[in-house]
């Protein structure tokens, strides 16, 4: 919060991993549409899990390109970042082709939806599982596309402590690098 007060909010501070979505009440088997419906039913809680200063803009944002229909899962605006924020939901593991899909969406948003004074749109691909190696090799968490895991059940305390320790170590490393 102190960094935000000093006007030093960055995308690195904005993104988290994992996102705990246990409040959605999803069971063992669900579809991407079930996940999206649950998020919309609990939109206030989802926005609070994402962070602050979010405004919900669209569900299944539609556009046509070369005669083909495309649909973006969820579109938000973050007032503090002054950016459109695309959230793409994936049931399974992160796959490299997800980057291409989201890159297309971001370029369309930049060309057709971005307003004067706004920063370039960003995206968060929320996956049930992710391969850290794929994400690191593709250098996704260094640009405008980030990949994070979502959890529909609260993990054991030990796992949360381990993830927190890793996040703190990475944050320290980024601060030291400058």
Query: Alpha carbon of 99 to those of 19, 28, 69: distances in Å?
Result: 19, 26, 18
At residue 26, the pLDDT reads: 84
Q: How many domains, the chain?
A: 1
pLDDT tens per residue across span 32-41: 889 888 888 8
Give the chain's residues under pLDDT 70: 1-15, 178
Query: Alpha carbon of 105 to those of 13, 65, 74, 152: distances in Å?
Result: 23, 10, 11, 26
Range of the domain at 80: 2-177
Among 73, 62, 61, which residue's Cα sits nearest to residue 35?
Answer: 73
At residue 18, the pLDDT reads: 73
Indicate the Cα dihedral angle 109, 114, 118, 120, nearest 10°: 30
Domain of 44, CATH number, reads: 3.40.1350.10
At residue 98, the pLDDT reads: 92
At residue 119, the pLDDT reads: 95
At residue 1, the pLDDT reads: 42
At residue 13, the pLDDT reads: 58
């Amino acid at each position: 919060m102190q960094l935000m007060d000093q006007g030093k909010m960055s995308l690195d501070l904005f993104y988290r991993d994992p996102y705990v979505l246990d409040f959605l009440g999803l069971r063992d088997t669900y579809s991407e549409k079930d996940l999206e419906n649950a998020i919309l039913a609990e939109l206030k809680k989802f926005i609070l899990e994402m962070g602050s200063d979010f405004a919900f803009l669209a569900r299944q944002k539609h556009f046509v390109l070369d005669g083909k229909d495309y649909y973006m899962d969820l579109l938000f605006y973050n007032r503090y970042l002054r950016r459109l924020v695309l959230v793409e939901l994936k049931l399974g593991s992160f796959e490299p082709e997800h980057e291409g899909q989201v890159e297309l969406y971001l370029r369309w948003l930049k060309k057709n939806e971005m307003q004067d004074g706004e920063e370039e749109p960003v995206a968060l691909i929320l996956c049930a599982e992710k391969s850290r190696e794929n994400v690191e090799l593709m250098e996704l968490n260094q640009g405008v596309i980030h990949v994070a895991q979502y959890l529909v059940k609260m993990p054991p305390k030990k796992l949360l402590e381990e993830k927190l320790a890793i996040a703190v170590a990475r944050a320290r490393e980024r601060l030291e690098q400058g």
